[in-house]
Amino acid sequence: MQVASARFGAIALFFALLGSVCAGELHYLADRDGSAVQAVSNAAPSELVDASGHLLWSVAYDPHADHVYWSDLANGAIRRCNSDGTSVTTVVQRAGAVYRGIVPDGRHNRLYYLDSESNTLNVAAMDGSDETVLLSGLRRPNDLALDPLNGKLYLTDSGQDKVICCDTNGGGEQTVLSGAAIDGVWGIALIPERGEMYLSAHGTNAILRAGLDGSALTNLVTGMETPRGLTADPHHQSLYWVEAESGSVYSAKLDGSESAAIMTNTFPGSRGLVSYESTDRDGDLLPDTWEIAQFGSLDQAGSDDYDGDLLSNLAEHLFGSSPTNSGDTMPLIMTEGLQDHGSGPVPTITLCYEERLDAWVSYATRYRTNLLAGSWALFTNTVDSVLTNVSGEAGTRIITIDASQFDGNAPHFFRVDGDL
């Protein structure tokens, strides 16, 4: 934060936002009728694992170990392999178990999974040891999602038409959605940075969206036939799901627009689908090459603050400062002066900050006059906005504002955000 004068203050605060870095997408699909785990790239499937003798249900991906997980209902097992299909390993097995939703959390060496035979939510180490029941008394739990930002698990319970949330240790269980509006709720995906959950429901044959607290439930897409596994891709601002009846893979934008079947290959009976944007396989909004270059691994999340300077890794990425140096924070510099832009000299404020050229967000200036009351308002009444000193992946944005529009007796505070 830099304060330029008693009258005007500049504050840099930045929130995590989403969008597309580059084209290219990767899905993993549990192809039940074909008895294969499929890796699907740009609408072309290739068989990753021949799962003959397995009754496939869910599929999941762990970017940290680069492992693909699936549930095998025929043998009561959760299995995994490397992302090239090698080293198939049984992680968890119990006779009669009906394992459904799986969430590997490689950062914390935890594997969460639902068993709709014992009707429990469970956790184990990623080698299957130390299994613990986190929740019991469920009726037919189906799909599971992790909100790493807030340390919460969300599950769909199809037997009760409920979405249930709890802490990652099983505490704080609560029902966040229930009832006819989510009849037959099945798949769940989260984008915690947007505060949103997405659901598929085969009772209403809809794809739905709600807040993480269950508020503002909305049908995004209707008229499906038994939509099942659902996944959200924040970088493409897209949802993907499988429609079990036709076996089609669908996509839509996060608001439900542009809904369409995207593959000519179909996978009838399929239940599980996950998708990964190839430059951000761990889905934390940081391009993986940048993460590896900065941290040497994918262990840091966008919301983490590695160097403890109160700026998230994502903010440091978007605004060009070092995420590993607490002495390097993104400056938002403000100066005051007089400038002539064609109609005589006027008092001006100049704001200056670093912008990424490849950013998938749009940078936006906001202001307010009272830090204790009111809210930040978008500010667009600028005299000039130019990008200079372009070098490599970044440039310097210089915004000029006519200061005579402001009440000279009131303080004004400015900040810059990265917005969708």
Interface ranges with Ca ion (CB under 5 A): 280, 282, 284, 286, 288, 305, 307, 309, 311, 321-322, 328
Which of 31/309 has CB closer to Ca ion?
A: 309
Number of helical H runs and strand E runs in the chain: 2, 32
Residue closer to Ca ion by CB (options 297, 382) is 297
Q: For tokens 């809210």, name the residue.
A: 375
State both tokens at 322: 């070092």
Q: Give the shortest CB-329-to-Ca ion separation in angstroms.
A: 5
* Residue 75 or 322 with smaller CB distance to Ca ion: 322
Return the number of the residue (102 or 311) whose C-beta is nearest Ca ion: 311
Distance CA 98, CA 101 (A): 10
The secondary structure element, H or E, covering residue 169 is none
Please, which residue, 161 or 291, has the CB nearer to Ca ion?
Answer: 291
Q: How far is the CB of 198 from Ca ion (least distance, A)?
A: 20
Min. distance of Cβ 373 from Ca ion in angstroms? 29
- Sort 141 into a burial class: Cβ within 10 Å, 0-12 / 13-18 / 19+: buried
d(CA 420, CA 408): 33
**Using CA atoms, how far apart are residues 230 and 277, in angstroms rounded to an integer?**
15
How many other CB atoms sit within 10 Å of the CB of residue 46?
Answer: 10
**Does residue 403 contact residue 410 with C-beta atoms inside 8 Å?**
no
State how far Cα 213 lies from the chain centre.
16
Please say which residue, 228 or 236, places its beta carbon nearer to Ca ion: 236
In sign, the C-alpha dihedral spanning 141, 142, 148, 150 is negative
Sheet holding 162-167, edge to edge: 141-147, 152-157, 162-167, 174-178
Q: How far is the CB of 395 from Ca ion (least distance, A)?
A: 19
SS3 354: strand
Smallest gap from Cβ 235 to Ca ion, in A, equals 9
Please state the closest distance from residue 232 (CB atom) to Ca ion, in A.
Answer: 15
Residue number, 303 or 385, with CB nearest to Ca ion: 303
Residue 324 has a CB neighbour count (10 Å cut-off) of 15
Least gap, CB of 416 to Ca ion (angstroms): 16
